[in-house]
Amino acid sequence: MSKYGAKTTTANDVAALVKDGMWLDLGCLQPPQDFDRALAARVHELSNIHVRCQCHLYYLHIMDADPEGKVFFLYNWHVLGLSRKYIQEGRGHYIPMNFGEVHHYYENIEPDIAVAAVSPMDKHGNFNFGPSVSYSKEVLRKAKIKVLEVNATIPWAYGGYDECVNIADVDYVYDNTSGDKIAEISNPVATDVDKVIAGYIADLIPLDGPTLQIGISGLPNAVLSRLGDLGARDIGIHSEMLTESMADLVDAGVITGKKKTFIPDKIVYTFSLGSRRLYDWMDHNPALAVYPVNFTNDPNIIAMNRNMVSINAGLGVDLQGQVSSESIGTMHYTGTGGQLAFHRGAYYRSSLGQQALGYPENKGIIAIYSTFTDKDGKLQSRIKPTLPQGEIVTVPRTDTSYIVTEYGVAFLRGLSIPERVVEIAKIAHPDFRDWLLDEARKIKWLGKHFKIKGLTPEQHVARAAKK
């Protein structure tokens, strides 16, 4: 008999359980590939199948098998390149969410079938969600039919809780027999602009024992690299995501977590993305502690970290400090993820009188390129007088503290609207500053007496750091 006993099944048998009108859940980031393939083979037998997931790092067979979207419709908790394509084609939808609250959403969601990709079973009957913990166990708890697809390439991630599921708690288990490997992504390379912005951000971060939250792109990599060059020590990580650049600094002895005030000595995260090198590094690594996303992304939990610095990227910002990180106009580009939660977590800590206790102020930082080049090759400002119609506000102006571009730092907390206009205009590309001020005057946000003082970017950084 199979090691899974009476619960042994196949991907084809699970796909045969799917009936018209069902809601399926395919988990977080790494969907079960054999099941995806088996379900796609039934495209001509089914109708009205709703598929919910948290991104996906490769093309889904079910979507390729149904290019007109007549059978399978995709609902996504976040948007990456492939899901963006399906949304633009009218074959999918984004579900607005704060990532850390997704467990609460499942209080009212009951998938008909949930299939999760997991590591091989240990001697105690446990399977591990590997790099995709997030809300994986919660989905299985709520599903009517609970299924595991075992993939031998999934690393085992040590965690706080909910990183494993026991065979006793599922209905069916089968091995991936197609030799599929979990998806990998390369470590992004920092651009010259990333390095300039990273320099300004690094100057805002304490070098002795800060705790950081960063995401994946060339910019966070550049920030970590710059901190290493500046001699930072005992960096801690409490983040949504584990990245390859973090692994590099752990190996270099720069990230230790020794001075974290909450779960010291551990890198706390909820999912990871990277190369095979990262997955091998995280496998059974006791320096790491993966938790479900309702723990890692809870602003009250985040705020328990001393010297907490949250660094996130925006797509656009207006002159009042509203940050757009999800859409370009009405075109959906990505999702809220944990940006607002981490920004607020850092804000909460600095709002609780921690300076009186001798703690430096925590910081929520939004990084943004000052310009982009449009499809006609024309330079455009990412800083606008007002956000374009339909563009989504991710971080409200009331929460925005630090905005950083390659031209410096704007610190907005406690500033009036005219003062915000001036500070934000200072960090815009020089070609757009007069235009931004003129537009602000037209809409009565700026009196004639407000002018930009001739501060250098370095002076902007020094001024913001003092605040």
Catalytic positions are 240
Continuous segment of H or E residues that includes residue 459: helix 457-466
**Rounded Cα–Cα distance for residues 118 and 136 (Å):** 10
The SS3 assignment for 205 reads coil
Residue whose entry in the numeric block shows the structure tokens 């492939």: 82
Q: Enter the tokens of residue 145.
A: 């039919």
**Rounded Cα–Cα distance for residues 305 and 345 (Å):** 9
Packing angle, helices 192-202 and 457-466, rounded to 10: 30
Among candidates 268, 263, 359, which has minimal Cα distance to 306?
359
Could you tell me how far CA 157 lies from the centroid of its own chain? Answer: 19
Strand stretches in 82-124, DSSP E:
92-94, 113-118
The SS3 assignment for 122 reads coil
Sign of the CA dihedral with 271 first, then 395, 79, and 407 last:
negative
Among candidates 447, 306, 323, which has minimal Cα distance to 396?
323
DSSP annotation of 120 reads: P
